[in-house]
Amino acid sequence: MSPAPPPSKRSEDWRSSPCPRRNSTRWLKVPQTSGSSSRSPTSTDRGMLNLNSEGRSIMANGYCGDAFLEPRKGRAKSLLSKPVHDEPNVLMVFPQLPFSFWSVPEIRGALGVKGLFPPLGLLTLAALLPCGWEVTLADQNVGPIQDSDWEAADLVMVSGMHAQRRGFLQVIAEGRKRGKLLVAGGPYPSSTPEELIDAGCDFVVCGEGEATVPLLIDLLREGAEGGVIRSGTRPDLPCSPIPRFDLIRMGDYLNMAIQTSRGCPFSCEFCNIASLYGSAIRYKDPCQVVAELELLHRLGAPHSVFVCDDNFIGNRSKAKSILEAVIDWNRSRCEPFGFTTQTTVALGRDPEMIDLLTAANFGEVFVGVESPDDEALSRASKRQNLSGHILNWLDSICRNGLTVLPSFILGMDGEKRGVGRRICELVEKSAAPVAMVNLLQAPPGTRLRNRLQGEGRLVKEVIAEEEIFSPQNFVPDRPQDEVISEFKGAWEYLYEPSRFLARTYRYYLRMRPTRKAMARKKGTTYTGSKERRNPVHQSLLDLRGFLFLVWRQGMAGPARVQFWTQILGMIRGNPSRLKQYLISCAIGEDMFRIRRVLMNRSRRR
């Protein structure tokens, strides 16, 4: 084994040594892949990852960067009168998410799980802290913060997105009332640091943790007065540690989450990804990704894993290397995981990439179509969708074995009256079962917000309890009542139960059979992974979900005859896709719920 490089001065205290109270380390072997690189500080040239007893990576190199503190004068010093001691208790809080497309309360309730995804940002932050610091994670989407956790905390760290603003500010207020040292970070604080300072945070960390957390740790130890920490560095992701998955209960979540890249090469006006993470996409090494999957597998993670990159295929060669490594690992473990990710809709013109995704056991992709109106796309700098081939690309993704979940936005400048109807027509032609239809917002950190502010079109933001019903925070360039009416009309049309079931049925009859089914039909040998027997708990979850679906749509639903007729049709027409068909039908229950709420609100008005 090649020796680790000498630690930097900054890393001598904790990053380069085993955990002081858990000084046993182990080596986690991961399969060698052709795409693996030996340059990762979390791997060696033998494809092994240095982990402590809980699966936390022990970094051989210190993190370097140009992070700096912008002090805030006049801050109350009562919370900062003494430095943080050597082994503080840290309470990490992920605020409540509002009701939205991503909530899926019906599915979660049916399967007995509490959250959709774990808070990956906080789990990564926890891995960046010194080993001696005791960390407790409180995901408010899983349950409330316990009083005992509040009392034990020396330091409270809060992270989240702008959609969580309401819950975020409530946590800050409670922490302030309890006299806690407060640190905020993540996408929302990075875009509006002064708002969080004014709300009572002692430190607001802007930027990525790998570049900023080392300075934060030093400042906490020194008892600095507080302020805003910034960094212009975009850290290389091979320097990112394995997230602290040991801090969560796997059974609390419907899906696990990993990240393989950050950044996006596109500059859509309404999106803040490029401002947060840069336009150059940075990837983890394939061996890092495989090591994270191996750890999740050993911890008993659920089958579904969301690869939460903003554009997984932004760098084709890097994505290909990761997929090849995942294919090898997944097959060597009899495919314990299936994956979902986000890509551009142009994936449809790349059959080779689709083939790699399906070979790696990816089943679904989210794509941003945004609008059928070219003028709206052009004015929003979404020019990559102006080819005129959107429908063909969506069809290609389907026929080659992936479920596509297209996203649309209403309220964009340049869209014409009737865009809601045109969105519905596009969805029906593509037969995509589940489509997200959203009202445009102008979030902080976007070029859209800056432009609208310059034009005097921003309005006072209202913190809504339910994200999907948040009024637009700007004046659109056509009547707002017209925009909202078309938004609600699209949901009412697309998720009428019978129409939804018919569209879902067409989609999966159109999709090619699985590789195994095609090999069986041709009488050839299937070269994929061996048959995997589901763990008992997974089989019970599948049964529970099926019974839920049978009751809701096969017995109590308004289209129950159609439900059973289409199941028989799937068994005859494309039996290898029956499970995916049923999963999409089940997701429909949450879409029906959103439709009912929107229709009820319209009637009350």
Residue range 176-203, pLDDT digits in tens:
999 999 999 999 999 999 999 999 999 9
C-alpha dist (Å) from residue 535 to 292, 317, 336: 20, 35, 10
Last residue of a domain, one of 179, 198, 230: 230
C-alpha dist (Å) from residue 316 to 121, 153, 346, 353, 361: 25, 44, 12, 8, 18
- Report which of residues 17 and 186 the model is more confident about: 186
Last residue of a domain, one of 230, 252, 276: 230
Quickly list H helices, 252-350: 273-277, 286-298, 316-332
pLDDT digits (tens, 9 = 90+) for 539-558: 888 899 999 999 999 999 99
Q: Domains in the chain: how many in total?
A: 3
Q: Are residues 225 and 251 in the same domain?
A: no
Tokens read off for 298 = 């050993």
What is the pTM for the complete model shown?
0.87
Tell me whether strands 48-52 and 436-439 are parallel, antiparallel or unpaired: unpaired
Last residue of a domain, one of 185, 208, 230: 230
- Report which of residues 60 and 588 the model is more confident about: 588
C-alpha dist (Å) from residue 336 to 258, 468, 532, 566: 15, 34, 8, 29
Report whether pLDDT(359) > 70: yes
Rounded Cα distance between 146 and 168, Å, is 16
Q: Are residues 223 and 313 in the same domain?
A: no
Q: Are residues 331 and 250 in the same domain?
A: yes
- Report which of residues 81 and 253 the model is more confident about: 253
Task: Look at residue 72 and tell me if it is in a domain.
Answer: yes
What average pLDDT does range 463-476 have in this prediction?
Answer: 72
**Three-state secondary structure along 517-558?**
HHHHHHCCCCCCCCCCCCCHHHHHHHHHHHHHHHHHHHHCCC
Q: Identify the band that residue 590 occupies on the pLDDT scale cut at 50, 70 and 90.
A: very high
Report the share of the chain in percent with pLDDT over 70: 84
Task: Look at residue 125 and tell me if it is in a domain.
Answer: yes
Task: Look at residue 450 and tell me if it is in a domain.
Answer: yes
Q: Identify the band that residue 294 occupies on the pLDDT scale cut at 50, 70 and 90.
A: very high
What average pLDDT does range 57-78 have in this prediction?
Answer: 58
DSSP 418: T
What average pLDDT does range 372-390 have in this prediction?
Answer: 94
Rounded Cα distance between 572 and 425, Å, is 28
Q: Are residues 353 and 290 in the same domain?
A: yes
Per-residue pLDDT, 10: 31
Q: Are residues 220 and 253 in the same domain?
A: no
Report whether pLDDT(14) > 70: no
Residue 566: its H or E element: helix 560-573
Q: Identify the band that residue 231 occupies on the pLDDT scale cut at 50, 70 and 90.
A: very high
Is residue 371 a contact partner of residue 409, using CB atoms and an 8 Å limit?
yes
Q: Are residues 128 and 170 in the same domain?
A: yes
Task: Look at residue 212 and tell me if it is in a domain.
Answer: yes
Lowest mean pLDDT among 10-14, 231-235, 399-403, 582-586: 10-14
**Cα 94 to the center of its chain, rounded Å:** 14
Rounded Cα distance between 518 and 522, Å, is 6
- CA-CA-CA-CA torsion for 8, 45, 298, 144, nearest 10 degrees? 30
Angle at 582 between CA 580 and CA 588, to 5 degrees: 110
Is residue 342 a contact partner of residue 540, using CB atoms and an 8 Å limit?
no
Task: Look at residue 482 and tell me if it is in a domain.
Answer: no
CATH of the domain at 445: 3.20.20.70
Q: Find where tokens 């052709």 sit.
A: 34
What average pLDDT does range 337-363 have in this prediction?
Answer: 97
DSSP 388: S
Indicate the residue type of 188.
Y
Tell me whether strands 68-71 and 227-230 are parallel, antiparallel or unpaired: antiparallel
C-alpha dist (Å) from residue 414 to 200, 410, 556: 40, 11, 43
Give the list of residues 6+ apart from residue 157 with CB closer than 8 angstroms, or none.
90, 91, 92, 93, 122, 125, 183, 184, 185
- Report which of residues 307 and 97 the model is more confident about: 307
Rounded Cα distance between 105 and 96, Å, is 13
The residue segments making up the domain with residue 582 are 509-521+533-604
Q: CB atoms < 10 A from the CB of 532, how many? A: 11
Q: Identify the band that residue 571 occupies on the pLDDT scale cut at 50, 70 and 90.
A: very high
What average pLDDT does range 280-297 have in this prediction?
Answer: 97
DSSP 24-66: -EEEEE----TT--S--TT--TTSEEEEETTS-B--SS-----
Q: What is the largest CA-CA distance in the chain?
A: 77
Report whether pLDDT(39) > 50: no
Rounded Cα distance between 561 and 558, Å, is 8
| Side-chain half-sphere exposure of 134, counting CA atoms within 13 A | 9
Q: Are residues 452 and 410 in the same domain?
A: yes
Per-residue pLDDT, 356: 97
Summary mean pLDDT of the chain = 86
Q: Are residues 196 and 294 in the same domain?
A: no
Rounded Cα distance between 402 and 356, Å, is 11
CATH of the domain at 201: 3.40.50.2300
Task: Look at residue 494 and tell me if it is in a domain.
Answer: no
Q: Are residues 162 and 304 in the same domain?
A: no
Q: Are residues 560 and 415 in the same domain?
A: no
Lowest mean pLDDT among 10-14, 309-313, 353-357: 10-14
Through-space distance between the first and last CA atoms of the chain, rounded to whole angstroms: 70
| Side-chain half-sphere exposure of 226, counting CA atoms within 13 A | 26
Q: Are residues 374 and 438 in the same domain?
A: yes
Task: Look at residue 157 and tell me if it is in a domain.
Answer: yes
Task: Look at residue 502 and tell me if it is in a domain.
Answer: no
Q: Are residues 327 and 219 in the same domain?
A: no
